[in-house]
Amino acid sequence: MKIGFIGLGIMGRPMAGHLQAAGHAIYSCANRTPMPDELLEGGAIACATPAAVATEAECLILMLPDTPDVEHVLFGADGVVQGVKPGTTIIDMSSIDPIATRDFAARLEALECNYVDAPVSGGEVGAKNAALTIMCGAKQHVFDKVRPLLELMGKNITLVGDVGAGQVTKVANQIIVALNIEAVSEALVFASKAGADPARVREALMGGFAASRVLEVHGQRMIDRTFDPGFRIRLHQKDLNLALAGARSLGISLPATANAQQLFSSCVAHGDAENDHSAMVTALERAANHLVSG
């Protein structure tokens, strides 16, 4: 299949690579990052604009940072709508506003295109290992059509509901992940300040009911002080903004989510917006005047 893939950053690059390795032709254009050499060497075609990508593609995948980025690529000058053909399927794997997603889908369906929102979880490691969790919103027949492509990039692939349901699920995912990072951060700061070895505390907790993927991976990052981004604080902060805005529109309270967002805001204020979201621990370390380790 001729696949357009726009958004070849930390996540998108390996995702497109899996599609290429399976024999699909990749068409892309520079967004914030240039076309990676490994994709070009594998036969990927560099196009000048999103419209040019859409002209070539039977299926178009987006992996972009935020709602305005998706809107610009789809509907801006030289955007996808300037070149897209009826029958094309657009799969947006970005994490963006569910309400905007439904609007984008309606505008593209008016052009006789199919739309799938399919945000992912699993970070850079999941993208590299083709082990992402993919949460989909689409009509059943459209989902069935694109599932073989999604299976090249992920393992746990679920059709949650119609368009927008995938983005709602991703927001819920980001709430859970943020609160887990906060819990692990607080636990390790407490343990270390109380004089226990945080590495051994983590090891002990991994054998009990407190065990989690966040404790396993991000707990180790906190101990090792390795905050190179797998998923940046500024992007998780964006996702929590979606959660809190959605909560306001629904008339509900998300107090723990709001607190996690404040901790991310503290990190951003100290210049850590580009660090991995596990660096939330640094906000709590500053408040305690104590490092987990180091």
Catalytic residue among 128, 139, 145, 170: 170
Q: Name the phi and psi angles at 145, rounded to 5.
A: -70, -40
Residue with tokens 């893939």, as numbered in its chain: 5
197 vs 52: CA distance, rounded Å: 56
Backbone angle region of 120, left / alpha / beta, with phi > 0 → left and psi within -120 to 50 → alpha: beta
The answer to whether residues 243 and 254 touch, using CB atoms and an 8 Å cutoff, is: yes
Q: Is 170 an annotated catalytic residue? A: yes
211 vs 48: CA distance, rounded Å: 47
Question: 38-48: buried (b, 16+ CB within 10 Å) or exposed (e) per residue?
Answer: ebeeeebbebe
Q: Which whole-number Å values give the CA distances from 285 to 22, 98, 292, in the listed order? A: 45, 34, 7
HEC string of 110-178 equals CCCCEEEECCEECHHHHHHCCCEEEEEECCHHHHHHHHHHHCCCEEEEEEEECCCHHHHHHHHHHHHHH
183 vs 85: CA distance, rounded Å: 48
Residue with tokens 């990508």, as numbered in its chain: 53
| Catalytic site positions | 170
